[in-house]
Structure 1
Amino acid sequence: MNDTWSVPGYAEVDVLGTGGFGRVVLAKHEASGKMVAIKYLRAEFLADPRIADSFRREAWLLSGVRSPHVVRLFDFVETPQGAALVMEAVPGVSLRALLVAENVLAPEAALAILKGSLLGLADAHAVGVVHRDYKPGNVLVSREGESKLVDFGLATLDGHNGLTAGSPSYMAPEQWAGQPGVPATDVYAATCVFYQCVTGHRPFEADTSEQLRALHGGAPVPMDAVPEALRPLILRGMAKDPAWRPATAHAFVTDLEAIARKAYGKNWEKRGWKRLAASAAALTALTPLALLTTAGTAAAPLAAAGAGAGATATGAGTGVTAAVVGKIAIAVAILGGLVAGGLLLIPGGDDPPAPPAPLTVALQSTTGRDPALPITYDLQYPQVSGGPDAAVRQRTNDALKAPVDKRLKSIHDGVAEPSTLERLRQDGETVGVRTTARVLRQTPGLLSVRYDHDLDSDVLSHTTWRFPEALTVDLATGQVLGPKDIFRPEILTAAGMRTLTQRLSPHTKNGFCTVPTVEGYPERRVSIDTADRPAGGDHVPAATFGFTEAGAEFEILWYDLGCATEAGNESVVLPYAELDDLLLPKFLTLLGKTAPSASPTTSAASSSSTSAPPPVAGDTYTNARFGFTTLVPPGYTASSWVPENGEGMRFTNAALGATLTVWGTNSAGVRPSDKLAQVVASVEGDGGRVTFRNADRNGYTISGFQGDGKIFYEHEAFGAGSTAGLRWVYPAARKTDLDQPVTDTVEAFKPGDLSRPH
């Protein structure tokens, strides 16, 4: 870099630091007189495409951060001579400099710094950015009494692995393991720094990085030098398992304030900042930043001599911000190393971010020991990385980790029960909690996972402490898919659950058990229907289930259905050949399958026995949602047909070229005569001919010939809230063959309850 080059529109005042990457200067914006810090980066560090791409990605990651606790970036300028970051100039010093000067901070001062840092981290986390390198050198303490986060050089999107990098003295166990960065990762690092502030030394120190990794991963935090009132805060923030730390930086602030008020009174923060402001002012007076006392800081000098996002290159470093390749006006923390040493390289520009990495799935493990109870745990769960949307990725990972978090909490609550805890202590037993995870099926649209929860304990020996669990996540939204997202509506009924039970039963070892009922009545056979359990519920499967390559794997807990406790649990796979017609077409698409034709037998099995007429020939179909019933002649195959605002089914006989379509709609307010006029216009518009039409307040009937010469007959009944209709289409040459089947189905058609919408 040419050291004489400077950003046009700014006059250099003094040098704040130099290093291998370039220099940081204090400069004055000529138009406004405001002071800024400008970090100049050498051109050779931007010549490497890999480094340049990482710079652009980092700027993109931070583009949404807006926080008073994060140092602001005003402008980024790139020329053939190098690049420069124009940043907020803060009259203050790094926390590292403060610790060098004072070694140990008063508890109130350390708490004040931790709170400000956590608020800055929370604002970054809110837009999906994890810092991953929180350390004393990246916390700036101002003369006015506030802290600001700086240097997001290792930042990644929340849930993205990034590099296994950071400052080893403050890295969380999951960061050492290369797992995705999450907000709890930053909470751990901030707590490590807080520990150093109140004790004068880091929580763990070692000669090698491997030793340090082992200490962070498994050693208890030494608490002898920590004030007793602050120990719970540190133990929680430095828990080995991120699930045991506060879920968010904001949540940790709540804990911090409660502990600080209890231990140091309601004015603790004011006293802490007063002490810090005095120390920061004294150290700042020894640096060129003392000039900010009179000159002031730059609020947002983005109109610097006409610089703008639309500026174009006019030469090598000439003109008004002449060679601007890109400009990002974002509030980010980029003042890394100012008075703390080191230069951060984060160029930006208007270049789009690199294409997102493809979504991948990997199994993660979290192990540890409960800090207060006799519990050890080894929990496995899948996590995804990559993909285009950080928020969706976080929702997906939260959903995938939730079963092990819930499991660990249930064991924690069970062990904490006084009588159980006393028995464990008497027996000298430590409960071992284990969960293994297995990916059942992954498609571009979904991820289905099974968890097996196990337990090593003589005290907690009951069968119900050990069970399997499954869930399926929509990878486009990050949401867990429930029965209503998976099954057709007619299956989520009493009749539909009977169908599902009947299909599952042959695949079980011993079938569904029977249980005693009131004396004098026969025993009742249990079913998969949640509504049949003593506690009742909706008509949904009373078992978790996931999806494999072969079919749906139901994790049936027989004791939960009412069978004897000794029956335990069983994994039952229902093949897709017996399952597809029960599933929603859109869910089949997520599975990577094509919606099948539903068999009339299936439709009849899921029909309502109270509304279906006895079959004349073939079978009957009743729609559980709208309640209409029709006769289905033999030899017809079924497929779903969905009209606007409704639901239906189409039955086809390919040999005869005939189709029967039935439907229900929520079409309140539509008059039968108006609907009839629409049908007439459609038929005649396609070259057809209407031979009969009639409409009254209860519905309409129409028949004739379509434009292709086929005969059609259509009838739709209307009520106050909904409609139900039937339509036949068949070749004129087959009229003799079809006269009787058509007559039978028309006479047997029952529209159901039309007084309300469905």
Structure 2
Amino acid sequence: MNDTWRVPGYAEVDVLGTGGFGRVVLAKHEDSGKMAAIKYLHADFLADARIVAGFRHEAWMLSGVRSPHVVRLFDFVETPQGAALVMEAVPGVSLRALLAAENVLAPEAALTILKGSLLGLADAHAAGVVHRDYKPANVLVSREGASKLVDFGLATLDGHNGLTAGSPSYMAPEQWAGQPGLPATDVYAATCVFYQCITGHRPFEADTSEQLRAMHGGASVPLEAVPEALRPLIARGMAKDPAWRPATAAAFVTELETVARKAYGKNWEKRGWKRLATSAAALTALTPLALLTSAGTAAAPIAAAGAGTGVTAGTGVAAGTGTGVATSTGAGVTATVVGKIAIAVVVVAGLVAGGLVVFRPGDDPPAPPPLTVAMQTLSGRDQALPISYELQYPQVSGGTDAGLRQRVNDALRAPIDKRLKSVRDGVAVPSTLDMFRQQGETAALHSSARILLQTPDVLSVRYDHDLDSTVLGHTTWRFPEAFSVDLTTGKVLGPKDMFRSEILTAVGMRRLTQRLEPQVGEFCTIPTVDGYPTRKATMDAADMVGGGDHVPASTFGFTETGAEFEIRWYELGCASASGSESVALPYAELQDLLLPKFLTMLGKTAAAPTSQSTPGQPGTGATYTNARFGFTTQVPPGYAALKWTPENGEGMSFIDDGFGATLTVWGTNSGTGSGGLSPAAKMDQLVTSLEGNGGRVTVHSADSDGYTVSGYQGDGKVYYEHESIGTGSTAGLRWVYPAEYQKDLGKLVTDTVSAFKPGDLSRPH
């Protein structure tokens, strides 16, 4: 075979460069007169199916990336005689050529190149593509000073494996290990190139690839030759662990701009462009690309020339040989997905009429890459206050919806920003700041993040916040927190998105407390006014100081096996407990508390209904008698029994989740003879509580034997309570159920009230 085959319809003008697998030429489209850069695969490789597949793969990977910072593909052509990529051509030179001429670039110029090519990587990352071969030869610098990214021959989808290959001087440790490509892999390579631009040499140099591998994997980055202001940026970008690098090129751009403005002023980019444009224009004038000044560029895909001619329209690919084949100007992250082409187009595996392999944009594209998660770290030192910080948080990449991805990342970053602000506010208090200055102390913040669970719909995360400080030494400055994000909307999920409505009540939160209590031994007690009995803390936020809704009084996240509640004992009002505790609850004890829809989002099966009864069905004679206090109640059929423990006593709840009804019975040693409240006082206390929480009391009465209160809770549910009170003990019964069942449940409620027997109340039990 020879290399005489040409893409029909184009006249070759000059050779721009050659490489190991092909050559790039400048060509003119004969009908329009527009110029294009054409990358031909060497004819010797046409018989190698693996190499030809790789050539197709290059076009396939880039076809969904549209960016002013990535060279565009117009056509992909393959016949038995040859294969070629037809691209736009804009005057410019490779960064490799620029470095060969100048050796070292001014920091502003190097930052400008890094930013432009990072924006190209960001557009690729937004489309789910990882480049995997960022190097000076694959970065083009135009006469206008803009930098562009080329050559996606080794690219993979985000999170997918590719060839264990690349350019050894710039390969990240995980790429050396053959691990799946990540956006952070490209960040590492881009930082290596940036290091070379400002120092004149690569960060690691060795005689063999094995030595290079060891250095990239374990050696410290030699930062002595780097301007001090840029060292943190390079250290971050070249972290050995990808979790400690910026998760995406877009995230790295944000950090870069902050560092550049601080070190070189607000006009750093303008100065960088000016210096680059001068050098690039001078070098471009020595190449065939100087012809583009008068001939024009290929501005749009060329129409197919018909079957057998080998010209087909495609979208968005680049190829580079280090000679500056293509650029265009622009700014910002502008990756777009066009119609059904999406991330890629499908290559038909076979020859069609005329011997062509063509792109078929009408075919369905592959599924978009899923969201992937990598850890990021916000670190630094406050410029005004004695505070240093190293705060870890997750960041997602991949997917096709940039807006959704941003909402998810904003939610994941929010706890870190809030944490930093709270410490800043604490240190900034004048008296506290004086103590820091007197002791010469710097408050060191540390936060670590851990993914508890990731499903296609939910990401659950735990943060552990620590603070190294003697001035702010109280345990409340150190705590865990957890939450879950809906990956389909970007919303932080709240209790109403997770728990059944009947659980978000006083009774439901007591139920949650009872299930958690065996995991902690016993909930602590809360101090009360002298003369009033102490009471246990609960998981009901409404019982906390300041009150609130009936929701869990701690943050919580979900794991593969259950939920993890991050209980801060001091927030529950505990008299003696301090600090915090993580308490796990398995799904076997959660399924009847959580919404079936949310369980499905977690990838779990919803619990089967606990009751097949219908509202108003009378009892069948089953009874429950408490062995300690002796009270007896009629148990409705199909109601699940759950132990309930009131202060100074014990009891039981009977629950039907089918229609949200709960019957609770109890006995306590809080009779009037043991210092307990009188029936009238207890009634007044209950009425005040109900009405204070938005409820409405319709009937209430009290006599020497007890009290009765009925009405509605703040959530609209019917509430009925009767407690018999003796000198030694008490016995009570309570019904709570939705108002829409009031008529249907009337007889059942009446039956259980009539059948309730309080037992012996003359003595404690």
TM-score range, shorter chain: 0.5 to 0.7
**What are the superposed Cα offsets for residues 510-545 of structure 1, whole Å, 9 maximum, x if unpaired?**
322211123343323211123333355543212343
Give the match's secondary structure for 1:14.
strand
From 584, 588, 607, the equivalent of 2:595 is 584
Q: Cα distance, 1:14 vs. partner? A: 2.0
Whether the 8 Å contact between 2:301 and 2:314 is mirrored in structure 1 is no
Q: Does 1:334 align with 2:319?
A: yes
Instruction: Assess, with a 3 A threshold, how the Cα gap between structure 1 residues 46 and 542 changes in structure 2: closer, same or farther.
Output: farther
Q: Could you tell me which amino acid in structure 1 is paired with residue 309 of structure 2?
A: V
The aligned residue for residue 198 of structure 1 is: 198
The aligned residue for residue 483 of structure 1 is: 495
**What are the superposed Cα offsets for residues 221-270 of structure 1, whole Å, 9 maximum, x if unpaired?**
44444445555654555566667666664565566556656666666545
Counterparts of 2:547 and 2:176, CA distance in 1: 47
**What are the superposed Cα offsets for residues 354-376 of structure 1, whole Å, 9 maximum, x if unpaired?**
866998999x8899997999999
Counterparts of 1:592 and 1:392, CA distance in 2: 28
Counterparts of 2:545 and 2:749, CA distance in 1: 45
Q: Could you tell me which amino acid in structure 1 is paired with residue 314 of structure 2?
A: A
The aligned residue for residue 710 of structure 1 is: none
From 505, 512, 517, the equivalent of 2:523 is 512
Q: Could you tell me which amino acid in structure 2 is paired with residue 517 of structure 1?
A: T
The aligned residue for residue 138 of structure 2 is: 138
Q: Cα distance, 1:31 vs. partner? A: 0.4
Counterparts of 1:288 and 1:512, CA distance in 2: 80
Whether the 8 Å contact between 2:600 and 2:606 is mirrored in structure 1 is yes
From 526, 543, 552, the equivalent of 1:532 is 543
Whether the 8 Å contact between 1:91 and 1:289 is mirrored in structure 2 is yes
Counterparts of 1:10 and 1:24, CA distance in 2: 13
Whether the 8 Å contact between 1:554 and 1:571 is mirrored in structure 2 is yes
Counterparts of 2:443 and 2:261, CA distance in 1: 36
Q: Does 1:150 align with 2:139?
A: no
From 608, 612, 620, the equivalent of 1:596 is 608
Q: Does 1:496 align with 2:508?
A: yes
Instruction: Assess, with a 3 A threshold, how the Cα gap between structure 1 residues 596 and 533 changes in structure 2: closer, same or farther.
Output: same
Over the aligned positions, Cα root-mean-square deviation in angstroms equals: 5.4
The aligned residue for residue 755 of structure 2 is: none
Whether the 8 Å contact between 1:218 and 1:368 is mirrored in structure 2 is no
Q: Could you tell me which amino acid in structure 2 is paired with residue 530 of structure 1?
A: A
Aligned 1:173-322 pairs, distance under 5 A: 181-209=181-209, 211-212=211-212, 215-216=215-216, 221-227=221-227, 230-231=230-231, 234=234, 237-238=237-238, 249=249, 253=253, 268-303=268-303, 306-307=304-305, 312=307, 319-321=308-310
The aligned residue for residue 634 of structure 1 is: 636
Report the TM-score, using the length of structure 2 for normalisation: 0.64
Instruction: Assess, with a 3 A threshold, how the Cα gap between structure 1 residues 283 and 33 changes in structure 2: closer, same or farther.
Output: same
Counterparts of 2:510 and 2:584, CA distance in 1: 17
Which segment is superposed worse, 592-601 or 148-157?
592-601
Unaligned 5+ runs, structure 2:
327-344, 348-358, 622-633, 641-656, 662-737, 753-765
Q: Cα distance, 1:566 vs. partner? A: 4.4
Q: Could you tell me which amino acid in structure 1 is paired with residue 568 of structure 2?
A: L
Instruction: Assess, with a 3 A threshold, how the Cα gap between structure 1 residues 40 and 182 changes in structure 2: closer, same or farther.
Output: same
Counterparts of 1:235 and 1:557, CA distance in 2: 36
Give the match's secondary structure for 2:11.
strand
Whether the 8 Å contact between 1:328 and 1:350 is mirrored in structure 2 is no
Give the match's secondary structure for 2:25.
strand
Instruction: Assess, with a 3 A threshold, how the Cα gap between structure 1 residues 94 and 403 changes in structure 2: closer, same or farther.
Output: same
Counterparts of 1:569 and 1:495, CA distance in 2: 25
Instruction: Assess, with a 3 A threshold, how the Cα gap between structure 1 residues 482 and 209 changes in structure 2: closer, same or farther.
Output: farther
Q: Could you tell me which amino acid in structure 2 is paired with residue 592 of structure 1?
A: K
**What are the superposed Cα offsets for residues 367-415 of structure 1, whole Å, 9 maximum, x if unpaired?**
9997999999898x999999x8687996899699869977996999799
Instruction: Assess, with a 3 A threshold, how the Cα gap between structure 1 residues 20 and 218 changes in structure 2: closer, same or farther.
Output: closer
Whether the 8 Å contact between 1:545 and 1:553 is mirrored in structure 2 is yes
Counterparts of 1:498 and 1:577, CA distance in 2: 18
Q: Cα distance, 1:108 vs. partner? A: 3.8
Give the match's secondary structure for 1:67.
coil
Report the TM-score, using the length of structure 1 for normalisation: 0.64
Q: Cα distance, 1:28 vs. partner? A: 0.7
The aligned residue for residue 692 of structure 1 is: none
Counterparts of 2:418 and 2:546, CA distance in 1: 22
Give the match's secondary structure for 1:634.
coil
Give the match's secondary structure for 1:273.
helix
Q: Does 1:100 align with 2:85?
A: no
Whether the 8 Å contact between 1:56 and 1:347 is mirrored in structure 2 is no
Counterparts of 1:340 and 1:600, CA distance in 2: 73
Whether the 8 Å contact between 1:414 and 1:420 is mirrored in structure 2 is no
Instruction: Assess, with a 3 A threshold, how the Cα gap between structure 1 residues 204 and 491 changes in structure 2: closer, same or farther.
Output: same
The aligned residue for residue 116 of structure 1 is: 116
Whether the 8 Å contact between 1:10 and 1:30 is mirrored in structure 2 is yes
Counterparts of 2:7 and 2:415, CA distance in 1: 53
**What are the superposed Cα offsets for residues 522-576 of structure 1, whole Å, 9 maximum, x if unpaired?**
3232111233333555432123434567644434332332225645444444454
Aligned 1:254-653 pairs, distance under 5 A: 268-303=268-303, 306-307=304-305, 312=307, 319-321=308-310, 327=312, 329-338=314-323, 349-350=359-360, 470-471=482-483, 481-505=493-517, 507-534=518-545, 536-547=547-558, 551-564=562-575, 566=577, 568-590=579-601, 591-598=603-610, 634-636=636-638, 649=658
Whether the 8 Å contact between 1:94 and 1:138 is mirrored in structure 2 is yes
Counterparts of 2:15 and 2:192, CA distance in 1: 32
Instruction: Assess, with a 3 A threshold, how the Cα gap between structure 1 residues 182 and 457 changes in structure 2: closer, same or farther.
Output: farther
The aligned residue for residue 23 of structure 1 is: 23
Counterparts of 1:166 and 1:554, CA distance in 2: 45
Counterparts of 1:261 and 1:442, CA distance in 2: 37
The aligned residue for residue 90 of structure 1 is: 90
Which segment is superposed worse, 245-254 or 539-548?
245-254
Instruction: Assess, with a 3 A threshold, how the Cα gap between structure 1 residues 26 and 413 changes in structure 2: closer, same or farther.
Output: same
Q: Cα distance, 1:208 vs. partner? A: 4.7
Q: Cα distance, 1:77 vs. partner? A: 0.9
Counterparts of 1:121 and 1:567, CA distance in 2: 48
Q: Cα distance, 1:113 vs. partner? A: 2.2
Counterparts of 2:516 and 2:477, CA distance in 1: 25
Q: Could you tell me which amino acid in structure 1 is paired with residue 319 of structure 2?
A: I
The aligned residue for residue 39 of structure 1 is: 39
Give the match's secondary structure for 1:24.
strand
Counterparts of 1:299 and 1:361, CA distance in 2: 35
Q: Cα distance, 1:51 vs. partner? A: 5.7
Counterparts of 2:547 and 2:211, CA distance in 1: 55
Q: Could you tell me which amino acid in structure 2 is paired with residue 140 of structure 1?
A: L
Instruction: Assess, with a 3 A threshold, how the Cα gap between structure 1 residues 509 and 266 changes in structure 2: closer, same or farther.
Output: closer
Whether the 8 Å contact between 1:600 and 1:637 is mirrored in structure 2 is no
Q: Cα distance, 1:21 vs. partner? A: 1.7
Q: Could you tell me which amino acid in structure 2 is paired with residue 330 of structure 1?
A: T
Give the match's secondary structure for 2:63.
helix
Whether the 8 Å contact between 1:29 and 1:301 is mirrored in structure 2 is no
Counterparts of 2:551 and 2:71, CA distance in 1: 52
Q: Cα distance, 1:486 vs. partner? A: 1.6
